[in-house]
Structure 1
Amino acid sequence: MKVDFIRNLENSLNAKDLEFIRKNFRNEENQNIPKQFSKIINDFPKSKWKIKRLKSNLPDEEILRIKVFGEKIVNGEIYILESKFDYLFSIVNEKIDEGIIKNLFTTIRNDNKKIDISFNIPDRVLTGSKYDIDIILNKPLEEVIIAGAIKPHQVNSLFEQEILLEPLASGGIFKITRAPLKPGIQIWSGIIAHPEGMITFTKSIDIVDKI
């Protein structure tokens, strides 16, 4: 893959020009990936994209590390988007084919980083195994009800915010869950509502049959 392609892809995303992507993605990728990228651009029009090529252990596989930073003002409040993910794909007839997003972690928050929070979510787990998801408020508030929730959702979405809030009895979200029996990707989305602001997050987990 040529360096020019990475530069052109990065420039097209920063210029909000999805035509370059449509011309360089094959088949279903032509619809799916631009749809996800365009959602970010529509929600955060001033988003900045940075793309770096990573080394792959497979001869026919390319990996791009993509970082997105954006902000917008809604009802006088500033919402900050930070997203990082790896895009794995192959090249067929000089076009991107069979792409998949891995190692995704996205946050959208309007607290101006005032909430001291830790996300303890594994990057990969074994098929069928139990694992912990811990979203920890490092400075819990006394006598103040914090609300939050977390749920799994479909792979073809970079972030999702339709989550019903529930009161959190402790200082965060603590969940024990079980990985699917087949290898693949599991994605979790969650939200924390705090007096200082709101944080939504999305994290992908690689489900593998050996580590």
Structure 2
Amino acid sequence: MFNLKLIKNIGVPLYLFIYLILPYSARSQTLKVDFLRNLENSLNARDLKFIKENFTIDKNKNISKQFANIINDFPDSKWKIKRLKSYIPNKDILRIKVSGKKIINGEIHILESDFDYLFSIANGKIDEGIIKNLFTTIRNDDKKIDISFKIPDKVLTGSKYDIDIILNKPLEDVIIAGSIKPHQVNSFFEQEILLEPLASGGIFKMTRAPSKPGIQIWSGIIAHPKGMITFTKSIDIVDEI
């Protein structure tokens, strides 16, 4: 039986994965593909020199620190990157997938993170960028928990919207715990979330979008007798859809 008292006051670290990007090349499509491959290979080889050469000074210091943090937490993490078609002038978009695992107290924790990176170039180097469609999970349940995340990718400014994290199989008398809270954009930090008893169906929350366009980020956790799942999701706040 799951013992809620054991985790009642535990602060669980959640990490916001805001990472790495590709410098724009005005050469042939073949060279662009090669550049993409070089970036992916450099990340998987832990080559920080590549990052320093392709980001502005301010950016590469921050990126290098963030990259070092995730490698420290998930030493075997793998990166997959592909380029998406951009409909925004002077902007490029990458689809980035990060996966990894680590063992804590004999339990395997699996990281899966997917996000798009919208960016532009200044003086031949990356100087600014925006994370879109971020969704990250860290779980130690070997995917035994049948769970659905119903969180929108985009909502209108000032509008109400629902966040539903649904456990698809009835739990009867089993106690679960969890919580969810918003984050500030462009932060990389450990955030403690205190667990609270939940109804057996999951987390169901209605909230309101900010009044100005931007990005809203939510992180949360579900604790279940079969394991724990932490998650982070970004939502675009727009003034028209």
TM-score class, shorter: over 0.9
Distance 2:206 2:154 in 1: 15
Q: Map 1:151-162 to 2 at 5 A.
A: 151-157=181-187, 160-162=190-192
1:44 to 56, 70, 74: 74
1:134 partnered with 2:164: yes
Structure 2 runs not aligned, ≥5 long = 1-24, 26-31
Equivalent residue for 1:102?
132
Distance 2:65 2:216 in 1: 20
Deviation of 1:31 (Å):
3.2
Given that residues 160 and 189 in structure 1 are in contact (C-alpha distance below 8 angstroms), is that contact kept between their aligned partners in structure 2?
no
Given that residues 36 and 157 in structure 1 are in contact (C-alpha distance below 8 angstroms), is that contact kept between their aligned partners in structure 2?
no
Which stretch has the larger CA shift, 182-191 or 17-26?
A: 17-26
Given that residues 171 and 200 in structure 2 are in contact (C-alpha distance below 8 angstroms), is that contact kept between their aligned partners in structure 1?
no
Distance 1:117 1:131 in 2: 20
Q: Secondary structure at the match of 2:148?
A: strand
Aligned residues: 211
Q: If you compute each CA radius of gyration, which structure gives the higher value, 1 or 2?
A: 2
Q: TM-score, normalized by length of structure 1?
A: 0.95
Distance 2:35 2:123 in 1: 14
Q: Secondary structure at the match of 2:169?
A: coil
Given that residues 161 and 200 in structure 1 are in contact (C-alpha distance below 8 angstroms), is that contact kept between their aligned partners in structure 2?
no
Structure-2 change in CA distance of 1:126 and 1:159 (3 Å): farther
Q: Secondary structure at the match of 1:164?
A: coil
Distance 2:33 2:115 in 1: 19
Deviation of 1:32 (Å):
3.4
2:54 to 24, 29, 33: 24
Distance 1:170 1:72 in 2: 28
1:85 to 111, 115, 120: 115
Q: Secondary structure at the match of 2:50?
A: helix
Distance 1:170 1:190 in 2: 16
Which stretch has the larger CA shift, 22-31 or 180-189?
A: 22-31
Structure number with the higher strand fraction is: 1
Q: Map 1:109-188 to 2 at 5 A.
A: 109-157=139-187, 160-188=190-218
Equivalent residue for 1:199?
229
Which stretch has the larger CA shift, 39-48 or 25-34?
A: 25-34
Distance 2:230 2:155 in 1: 23
Distance 1:200 1:160 in 2: 13
Deviation of 1:97 (Å):
1.8
1:9 to 39, 46, 49: 39
Deviation of 1:126 (Å):
0.2
Distance 2:142 2:44 in 1: 24
Structure-2 change in CA distance of 1:159 and 1:47 (3 Å): farther
Deviation of 1:160 (Å):
5.0
Q: TM-score, normalized by length of structure 2?
A: 0.83
Given that residues 85 and 105 in structure 1 are in contact (C-alpha distance below 8 angstroms), is that contact kept between their aligned partners in structure 2?
yes
Structure-2 change in CA distance of 1:98 and 1:36 (3 Å): same
Distance 2:128 2:156 in 1: 24
Distance 1:152 1:44 in 2: 24
Structure 1 runs not aligned, ≥5 long = none
